[in-house]
A and B are shown apart, each in its own frame.
Chain A
């Protein structure tokens, strides 16, 4: 991600953004873990698997693939995730992501 101002430009590595999303997801209520559609990262991915960021010209697109705990209202949990990531992003970067898509990949029973 690049921010240009009269003094020069600021670039933020995509991994930093990923980590930011990861930290926010940890604090989201209702998520038990992350999963991934990509088989390689599903089994080999580190702690930031299941978080996909696209740095397009018009802004950042975020896709997350969580597993939700059983017995929750899944739509609400997902909405909370969207709102929280959105808020955290703006809070720390001053920029809102363009899209935050939540793909619930599983439900975890106790």
Chain B
């Protein structure tokens, strides 16, 4: 490469592309969160990454590096890996670009510019009516820009630098170009992805030559995603009631009840015969529904099922998990204790009692056990999601809508979810309802924040206290490597247990127990007093008990407590305080 620094050779293409893939993959979740067009399904990041990663695989198979072989590998790889709209468009961009490149032995600036222009032509020719403010807008702009300023570029580094700058500027403009993006207050995900790719090439040109595609892949991110989204459920509680009508209640009274209830949810059905009225509605406020019904008669029976929980069970069922038995149906004649005294009913009552609270919490939880713990700690809404199932911005926004408080705190509990949480907060923040995101990167931090929260204190003080609590706790996560990889000079072998303390790898050993003990040895255990262990769903209690016994023996002065967290992929989440 150094022989003729003003030109690009095969090695540059190959490694530059891999660097671009790295940058893109690193921003995968951000791109997913931005995805609102054409179909807001939150997969743009995944699709684009899949596309470039497939090409990286074909690149690995290239034995002799020449412009021809490398170009062909990228062209074929991106085509084969194309998934979704953004993936297909990306493959066309590369296809056009390398169509020009492949014909040349060395690439100088005029050829590079020609290649970008060809990429533009190929990509935009495949749509009948291009929509403004997409990845196509960006490639078109880059093509025109590079052609216009062709003579001003000193060398390819300068060219890539200018293109990167220009790309991010155009990405910002997409917000204004498409009404849909403007509404959601985001930039176009596909365009931003392409900008990251250009940035990747630029970074490589500037000498950032170490490429680590495995860095992200060492966690379990590559697992399949669930395909039903919780956001499909608009109202959370399936609410049913039966009322013995007061004497003198007339048809028009019932239609007025219908009108009131209709505003509170959907799927409403109200039927009545002479003196009994039966109603069904999906709502977020079952308690209020019951209250209204009380105005017309004596309640005989009520029921409120949390449909999100049911949905969650469906997900578990898919994973082959055992699910607890279904709640008794409404038709059951004897009035079941569970129906009346169940958690849902209590929730409903609580919501009536304190209509507008001062503070409310929305937290993201990766497992059932943790959800339960969070609920006990006064979290008002749980959004289910974790390492492999990042909740969408809409999920979080829905959760915010469902709580009634002056200030809503959001605990994302995962670094990949912070962005979605912040976007949701921006969308929903208003005078009446202030939204505050506490950027917690782990469940342990989230719990520490909840402990430090004081109800009757000012907002600022609470934020300060939570931020302080967040930084005091050490979050440890233990997981298994699903492939060979390298993290910070440690060579990881597939199947090894990895012990991370605040995202830093402390130990990696084949045996779980050794891994934990060795991991704790790597920390200054004298500094901490409390250890809290949340074990995952893939681990049985006996192992946990054995382990906690050993830990208690080893760290006598420490207060150790163990909870069932129920999280997937991570056998242990541990916090040290």
Contacts and interface: CB of A to CB of B under 8 A. Distances in A.
A54 B102 CA distance: 48
Contacts of B91: 72-73
B127 A29 contact: yes
Contacts of A28: 127-128
B270 to A, nearest CB: 12
Given A80-B88, A83-B39, A84-B38, A73 B79 contact: yes
A29 B125 contact: no
Nearest to B82: A73
A87 B79 CA distance: 25
A51 interface: no
Contacts of A87: 38-39
A26 B128 contact: yes
Contacts of A83: 39, 41
A95 to B, nearest CB: 15
A27 B129 contact: yes
A84 B88 CA distance: 14
A26 B130 CA distance: 8
A59 to B, nearest CB: 18
Given A27-B38, A84-B39, A87-B38, A72 B92 contact: yes
Contacts of B300: none
Nearest to B122: A71
Contacts of B126: 29-32, 69, 72
B131 interface: yes
A76 to B, nearest CB: 5
Contact of B128 (A32, A72, A84): A32
Interface residues of B, number: 22
Interface in A75-92: 76-77, 80, 83-84, 87
Given A71-B92, A87-B38, A76 B129 contact: no
A21 interface: no
B485 interface: no
A89 to B, nearest CB: 12
A64 B492 CA distance: 50
B219 to A, nearest CB: 27
A76 B92 contact: no
A110 B82 CA distance: 20
B88 A30 contact: yes
A29 B85 contact: yes
A31 B128 contact: yes
A52 interface: no
A64 B88 CA distance: 20
Interface in B74-93: 79-80, 82-85, 87-89, 91-92
A54 B80 CA distance: 35
Contacts of B441: none
A25 interface: yes
Contacts of B85: 29, 80, 84
A33 interface: yes
B84 A80 contact: yes
A17 to B, nearest CB: 19
A60 B80 CA distance: 33
Contacts of B92: 71-72
Contacts of B38: 27, 84, 87
Contact of B82 (A31, A69, A76): A76
Interface in B101-148: 122, 125-129, 131
B218 interface: no
A34 to B, nearest CB: 9
B427 to A, nearest CB: 18
B88 A29 contact: yes
Contact of B129 (A26, A71, A72, A80): A26
B95 interface: yes
A28 B130 CA distance: 9
Given A83-B39, A87-B39, A76 B127 contact: no
Contacts of A77: 88
A89 B87 CA distance: 23
A27 B288 CA distance: 45
Contacts of A30: 88, 126-127
B88 A27 contact: no
Nearest to A28: B127
Nearest to B134: A29
Contacts of A26: 128-129
Contact of A25 (B82, B88, B128): B128
Given A25-B128, A27-B129, A72-B82, 18 more contacts: A26-B128, A27-B38, A27-B131, A29-B89, A30-B126, A33-B128, A71-B92, A71-B122, A72-B91, A73-B79, A73-B88, A76-B82, A76-B83, A76-B88, A77-B88, A80-B84, A83-B39, A84-B39
Interface of A: 25-33, 69, 71-73, 76-77, 80, 83-84, 87, 110
19 contacts: A25-B128, A27-B128, A27-B131, A28-B127, A29-B89, A30-B88, A31-B127, A32-B128, A72-B88, A72-B91, A72-B92, A73-B79, A76-B82, A80-B85, A83-B39, A83-B41, A84-B85, A87-B39, A110-B125
Q: Which 6 A-B pairs have the closest CB atoms?
A: A26-B129, A69-B126, A87-B39, A73-B82, A26-B128, A80-B85
